Amino acid sequence: MSKYQHIKEEAYAANMQLPELGLVLFTFGNASAVDRDLGAFAIKPSGVAYEKLTPDSMVILDFDANVIEGELRPSSDTKTHAVLYKEWDKVGGIVHTHSTYGTSWAQAIRDVPIFGTTHADHLTVDIPCAPPMKDSYIEGNYEHMTGYQIIDCLKERNLSYEAVEMILVGSHAPFTWGKTAAKAVYNSAVLEECARMAYLTLQVNPEAERLKDTLINKHFQRKHGKDAYYGQ
Positions annotated as catalytic residues are: 121, 230
Distances 129 to 9, 74, 170, 192 between C-alpha atoms, Å: 31, 26, 6, 13
The number of beta carbons lying within 10 Å of the beta carbon of residue 202 is: 13
Closest by CA to 119, choosing from 200, 14, 197, 232, is: 197
Report the side by side order of strands in the sheet with 166-169: 67-69, 59-61, 40-43, 29-35, 93-97, 174-178, 166-169, 129-130
Contact 43, 52 (CB under 8 A): no
Contact 33, 92 (CB under 8 A): yes
